[in-house]
Structures are given as C-alpha cells and as structure tokens.
Amino acid sequence: MSDRNQDKEKREKQGDPEHDESVLNPERKDELDLSKKERRLIEKEKLKGMGIGKKLEYIWMYYKPVIFGVIAAIALVFGVRDYYEGLKVKTVLSVAVVDSRIEDTDSTAEEIKEQLGYEGDKYSRVEINVNMTSNEDGDGLEYYAQMTYVTQIAAGTMDIMIMPEKVYDTLYENNDQSFLNLKELLGEESFQAFGNQTDETHISVTDSELATKFGLSYEPICIVVPASTSEADNAAKWLSVLAEREK
C-alpha cells in the first residue's frame, strides 16, 4: 500500500504524461496549434482594446506584407488590363507639325477623329506630334527633328506632315519621291479647291483657322502626305474636309 501511495505522489509531482493541460485550459495552447478561427478571435479581442492609433500601428506592423501583396495584385490586374486594352487601340491618323507653339493637342485630335468618322470609338485615336522644329535658317529641319522625320518615314508612322514651305522645298529637293501625288490621292476637283500649286505633291494654304488649331505663326502652311503612310485613305479624307472649307 505504501508503495502505491509513493507512486501516486511521484506522479502528482512529475505530472501525468497522459494529461494535457491545454485541453482543459485552451488559453494555454501554443499559438501554432490554434485553428484559423481561434486566431481570428484572438486578433479581434486584441484590436478591441486598442485605440485608433494603436490599431493602425498594429495592423501596419503585422499585416504589412499582406497589404503590399494586395496592392501588388491589384496593380498587376489593372496593368494587365491596360496592356491588353492598349493592344486594341489603333492610330487612324498621325500628324507631324513643324514649328508648332501649341502644347495641348487633345481637342484638335478629337475634332479630326470625328471628321474621319471615328467619333465615340475608344479604340481609334489621332496622334499629333508637335515636337519637330526647323533649323536656324528656317529652310530645313534641325538635327533631332531630322532624325525623327527619317525614322517615321522609314517606319511608315507619319500620315500627314505640316510645315513651312521652305522646309518642304528642302525635303523635296533631297528626295522628290518622299511624298504622294495629292492630285491622284484626292482627285482633281478636291485638289484644285486649294488653288494653284507649284507641284502636285503638296498643298500650300493660308488658313487662319488651321494655324490657330495647330499653333502656327507662319504662312503659307504646307501640307504633304508621306509616300510611306499606312493611312492614305484617312489622310485623303481629312484633306478633303479642308478642301470643302476652301471652296
């Protein structure tokens, strides 16, 4: 009997290996053993006892990776969407303007888009490049503008070019095959609406409305269609709109 009592006392001192205190007292559970629901409840209780400032500090400290992960995921979703939306957009007319003083071309681009019949079409756009300038003598393009011109002509990404007549003369002398025959492109009636021209690969006009819209201070205004254009039909359509104004 004494041996049995001694064993009992020994077990009480050492603790019964089959007895798990955490079962009787869940609060003593190791945090790693908690279920997701239990962890959420504990977090909720912690936040209840905090002020606004402490809550924000606590959330930022412990949930910063999650917050950044959510932001990154949202940015990725919108980035992918914008990328695929961008692939659907088509430039229906690209206009290069030499020596323009205007910065905002959105309203003019939108007006041309409507004139071409693309009003309300979010996947069609008109581009207006006003970064090209003439050289100091005014009879040619300055270096960077010349590089832009050569690149766009080679790539076929310029559909209309507006410039001073002296710049046109120089470009034509350098390569008289650079521009389309506008009499053939527009038809004789529309071409003649612009009045007498020195050749058939450009039109020169004195148009105050056109000068205002494109921020031009020179006249006459010389307009050409590069031979490498990929939008000859739209270029012709826009020039025909100008021809109607000249009649």
Q: What is the pLDDT along the chain (247 residues), one digit of tens a residue?
A: 555 555 555 555 554 444 444 443 445 455 555 666 666 676 666 666 666 667 666 666 666 676 677 777 777 776 766 665 556 789 999 999 999 999 899 999 999 999 999 998 889 999 999 999 999 999 999 999 999 999 999 999 999 999 999 999 999 999 889 999 999 999 999 999 999 999 999 999 998 899 999 999 999 999 999 999 999 999 999 999 999 887 6
Domain-wise residue ranges, the chain:
35-88, 90-246
What residues form DSSP beta bridges with 134?
A: 141
Which numeric CATH code is attached to 90-246?
3.40.190.10
**Bridge pairing between strands 90-98 and 160-164:** parallel
Is residue 223 within 8 A of residue 172, CB to CB? The reply is no
Residues 6+ apart with CB under 8 A from 138: 164, 166, 167
